[in-house]
């Protein structure tokens, strides 16, 4: 029996420049011990998780496409279903636009937090993570309001609705429900990391935990980009 | 602890991308006011792709990662487009079959005229 014996070859690169693309690819995959040289394991694993989560959301969105394309009944018009009455005028998709704005803002504050983390400005990073969490919580609150409006006021159910094809409700609740769940879990995750950061649990590192947390949060925003475009606008 | 290339970039690029994301979101919202047709769908998809691209490349840092990691991230979703294409073909077929065999009384656009009597 042999152990994996090999020399971890460092790619030839400067300390602060990106590795040359093609040679680094073959060097990575052709080497021993580890492929993604220099990538902290937490970051690589978070990416693996995000790719798997991408598959899940792809299944839901492709399912939505299949259902919508194959139903013979007209699909409800999201602009009308999700319009809000403001001063007597019906403004289409107003709540959704505000929710998109909030989520993009939270992505921005998260990116700032990552930057602060790498500058070792712990307090700034912690504050920005908390702001991000707050914006995320606001997003979930607005989504909950949207759900209650549709369920209680409009009579939308997973099996029927007054607007059109009966599958609309099932798709809506499934897709936005899973997304909202991810946002909620993200808020808890952000708060956890923020408090641990402030308590000094990551002082020994170069604060890549903030970047790893940021990857999850940007993923949540990314999924919303697709949901917004494909479900609400299309 | 690692030799990785610097993860830190001037904050300016994040602010610029952030602003662009707001702008593109506003433009996406405005597609709601275009009538359904080719241009509405094309713009919806274009803005979606731009936003996704910016978020993944800059905010999620993929632009500066090594190619092996980039491949882990980008190759699977690209391959998933095959699934999307296959399901689109299948769904369209399902719909035409439903119109042909089950469509008594269902109103939408003019029903396709069934040219065969095979189910009589």
**Average per-residue pLDDT in chain A?**
89
Report, as an integer, the average pLDDT of A12-23. 56
Q: Does B4 reach chain A within 8 Å, measured CB to CB?
A: yes
CA distance B76 to chain A (A): 8
Provide the pLDDT for residue A5.
47
Render pLDDT for A147-171 as a digit per residue (tens, 0 to 9): 999 999 999 999 999 999 999 999 9
B62, two tokens: 């993929």
Interface of A with B in 25-84 (CB under 8 A): 25, 28-29, 35-40, 44, 47-48, 50-51, 54-55, 58, 62, 65-74, 79
Give domain status of residue A153, yes or no: yes
d(CA B39, CA B47): 12
Give domain status of residue A12, yes or no: no
d(CA A149, CA A145): 6
d(CA A100, CA A80): 18
Provide the pLDDT for residue A20.
65
Partner-chain contact A115 B25, CB within 8 Å:
no
Provide the pLDDT for residue A93.
85
Report, as an integer, the average pLDDT of A43-72. 95
Count helices and strands (H / E) in chain A. 7, 2
- For A143, phi then psi, to 5°, come to -65, -40
Instruction: Tell me which residue range forms the domain holding A185.
Output: 41-233
Closest Cβ opposite residue A62 in set B31, B68, B84: B84
Residues of A in contact with B76 (CB under 8 A): 51, 54-55
B60, two tokens: 């999620």
Cα nearest neighbour of B16 on chain A: A108
State CA B2 to chain mean position distance.
36
Q: What's the CATH code of the domain at A104? A: 1.20.120.80
Render pLDDT for A110-127 as a digit per residue (tens, 0 to 9): 999 999 999 999 999 999
Give domain status of residue A229, yes or no: yes
Provide the pLDDT for residue A229.
93
Give domain status of residue A34, yes or no: no
What's the Cα-to-Cα distance from B11 to each of A79, B7, B53, rounded to whole Å? Answer: 37, 12, 19
What's the Cα-to-Cα distance from A18 to each of A102, A140, B8, B66, rounded to whole Å? Answer: 33, 38, 12, 7
CA distance B115 to chain A (A): 19
Residues of A in contact with B7 (CB under 8 A): 118, 208, 211
Q: Concatenate the DSSP letters of all residues of B23-53 into one string.
A: HHHHHHHHGGGSPSSHHHHHHHHHHHHHHHH
In this prediction, what percent of chain A has a pLDDT beyond 70? Answer: 91
- Which one-letter DSSP state was computed for residue B110? P
pLDDT category, B33, cuts 50, 70, 90? confident
Partner-chain contact B48 A226, CB within 8 Å:
yes
Give domain status of residue A16, yes or no: no
Q: Concatenate the DSSP letters of all residues of chain B into one string.
A: ---PPP----HHHHHHHHHHHHHHHHHHHHGGGSPSSHHHHHHHHHHHHHHHHHIIIIIT-GGGS-HHHHHHHHHHHHHHHHHHHHHHHHHHHHHHHHHHHH-TT--SSPPPPP---TT-
Provide the pLDDT for residue A134.
98
Partner-chain contact A112 B14, CB within 8 Å:
yes
CA distance B34 to chain A (A): 10
Neighbouring residues of A34: CB distance < 8 A, sequence distance ≥ 6: A8
Partner-chain contact B3 A10, CB within 8 Å:
yes
B72 bridge partner residues: none
Give domain status of residue A13, yes or no: no
Partner-chain contact B11 A37, CB within 8 Å:
no
Give the count of domains, chain A. 1
In this prediction, what percent of chain B has a pLDDT beyond 70? Answer: 78
């Amino acid at each position: 029996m042999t152990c994996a014996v090999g020399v971890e070859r460092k790619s030839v690169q400067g300390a602060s420049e990106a590795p040359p693309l093609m040679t680094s690819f073959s060097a990575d995959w052709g080497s021993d011990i580890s492929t993604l040289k220099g990538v902290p394991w937490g970051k690589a694993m978070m990416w693996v998780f995000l790719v798997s989560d991408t598959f899940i959301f792809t299944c839901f969105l492709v399912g939505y496409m299949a259902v919508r394309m194959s139903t013979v009944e007209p699909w409800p018009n999201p602009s009308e279903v999700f319009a809000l009455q403001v001063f007597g005028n019906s403004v289409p998709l107003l709540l959704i636009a505000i929710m998109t704005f909030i989520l993009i803002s939270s992505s921005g504050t998260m990116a700032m937090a990552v930057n602060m983390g790498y500058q070792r400005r712990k307090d700034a990073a912690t504050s920005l993570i908390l702001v991000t969490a707050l914006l995320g919580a606001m997003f979930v609150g607005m989504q909950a309001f949207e759900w209650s409006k549709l369920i209680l006021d409009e009579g939308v159910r997973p099996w029927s609705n007054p607007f059109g094809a009966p599958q609309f409700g099932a798709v809506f609740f499934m897709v936005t429900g899973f997304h909202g769940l991810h946002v909620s879990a993200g808020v808890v995750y952000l708060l956890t990391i923020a408090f641990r950061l402030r308590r000094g649990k990551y002082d020994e590192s170069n604060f890549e935990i903030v970047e790893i947390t940021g990857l999850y949060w940007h993923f949540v925003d990314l999924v919303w980009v697709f949901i917004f475009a494909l479900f609400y606008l299309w | 602890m690692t030799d990785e290339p610097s993860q830190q970039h001037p904050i300016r690029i994040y602010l610029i991308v952030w602003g662009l994301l707001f702008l593109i979101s506003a433009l996406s919202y405005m597609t709601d006011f275009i009538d359904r047709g080719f241009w509405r769908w094309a713009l919806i998809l274009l803005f979606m792709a731009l936003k996704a691209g910016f978020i993944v490349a800059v905010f999620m840092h993929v632009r500066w990662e090594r190619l092996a990691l980039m491949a882990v991230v980008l190759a699977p979703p690209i391959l998933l487009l095959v699934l999307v294409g296959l399901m689109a073909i299948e769904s369209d077929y399902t719909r035409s079959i439903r119109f042909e065999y089950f469509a008594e009384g269902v109103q939408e656009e003019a029903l396709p005229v069934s040219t065969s009597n095979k189910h009589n």
